[in-house]
Amino acid sequence: MTSIPAQDQRLLKWLMFSAVSLAFFFLNMATFTSLGVVLFTMEAELHWSVAWAVFSFTFLGFACGLSSPLPGMTMRAWGARPTVCVGAGLLAIGFYLASISHSLLLFYIAMTLLGIGYSFAGNVPSVYLIAGWFQRRAPRMIGAYMMLGAAGAAVGPFIVERIVAQGGWRGHWNAMAWASIAIGLFCFAVIREARVSKTQTEPIRHRHVWRTARSRPFILVALVMSGTMACVTTNAAIGPNHLVKLGDNLEQAALVLSFIGAVATVLKAASGWLCELIKSTTVTAAGLVMQGVGVFIFAIAHSDFLQYLSALVFGVGWGLAYVAATVVLLDHFGRDMGSQLLSIVWFFVSVAGLGPFAAGWIADTYGTFAPVYVIYAIFMVLLAVPVLSLPRPAQSGLAPSRSNDASLTARAKAV
């Protein structure tokens, strides 16, 4: 970056940050956290069962997870900007297909394209760009990025409910398609690659990435992210139905889900800051415990007080764990290896897509979603124990690195 004047460097990095943050805001607003609101209307109009309607979350989650190694490959071949723009194009196609859906098959195809688009336009290329442009300030900037993305989750259910109420579910999907195109053009116009020196760039070979993926820190981060996203996607899918069964209307249910996102929005910014003060594993473990407590309360939330209490506790846990787990990867493995491993983490997170379908099957069979929430609560609290026991790395991987493949592998074996 020495060839670029300092003033231009500042402008470039903030334009980049605004573009990837806008994309992440939109992704969270229009996909996982608000899909349950649209499905509530679609399943009634198209006469879909709850289980088969929320099975669309499985396609969305699996596509997002299984395609997550692809952005790492395209970033190496083309760069981060084309990767994000390809994601925006896939989103536009997926939203359009959703708008013309009459059958579950076409809707599942649409959700698959949205999941792949999420991978390409989401946090794999964005974390790589932010870590490259901001370097030592990366944890707090990643936290700010996650916060802005969570803001989309906060306002998404309410905004989508209003759009569907005014223009129907087809009008909603059409609006999202046009928004995807606009965001893709903005990202193409302003995103630039960070010019890092050779001493700050780790030469990464494919085999070393997968070898490092067998390390204990990686496995635990993969479990944390899988559990967190399973909780988030399952609650987004079944939350409206669960709260309606408890006596709420759809508008009230959307407000509760929006409140979860609002709390997570604030905590995601705080999480990045906390990870600069205390161990990122400690922040992650605290987030897991709070998620477990939150979903347990949600299972029995028959009153407005309990619903908002569970939303508050779960939102805090979601915000803490989601950001801190990402920082754990960067702390242990550095910017280049950490961003590559993040894409593999999201590959394993695809298992979270089974959560909504399992929850829908339980509801169709037993008439309640409560057992699913209890299972999630137990899993998250138990997972916090090994995460808390992870040692702090000798040197944070976010510092400028001079490591090579051999040292990266040795660091992974050591932890």
What is 6-193+206-414's CATH superfamily? MFS general substrate transporter like domains (1.20.1250.20)
CA distance 276 to 358: 38
Q: In angstroms, what is the C-alpha Rg of the chain? A: 20
Mind listing the pLDDT tens digit of every residue in the chain (415 residues)? 445 555 667 788 889 999 999 999 999 899 877 887 888 889 888 888 877 887 888 788 788 878 888 887 888 888 889 999 999 999 999 999 999 998 999 999 999 999 999 999 988 888 888 888 887 777 778 878 888 887 887 788 888 888 998 989 999 999 999 999 999 999 999 988 866 544 444 444 555 666 666 788 888 888 898 888 888 878 877 777 778 777 777 777 778 877 887 887 788 778 878 887 888 899 999 999 999 999 999 888 888 888 889 989 999 998 899 888 888 887 877 766 766 677 777 677 666 667 777 777 777 777 777 888 888 999 999 999 999 988 876 555 554 443 344 433 333 333 3
Query: For residue 242, how many C-alpha atoms fall within 13 Å in the half-sphere facing its CB?
Result: 30
The domain limits of the chain are 6-193+206-414
* List of residues 6+ apart from 65 with CB closer than 8 A: 115, 346, 347, 348, 349, 350, 351, 352, 353
HEC per residue, 273-287? HHCCCCCHHHHHHHH
Query: At how many degrees (to 10) do helices 123-134 and 304-349 cross?
Result: 80
pTM: 0.68
**Beta strands of 45-114 (E only): which ranges?**
none
The two three-digit tokens of residue 301, written as one number: 């939330």
Closest CA to 267 of 151, 122, 387: 151
Are the C-beta atoms of residues 231 and 319 closer than 8 Å to each other? no
Burial classification of residue 238, based on how many CB atoms lie within 10 Å of its CB (0-12 exposed, 13-18 middle, 19 or more buried): buried
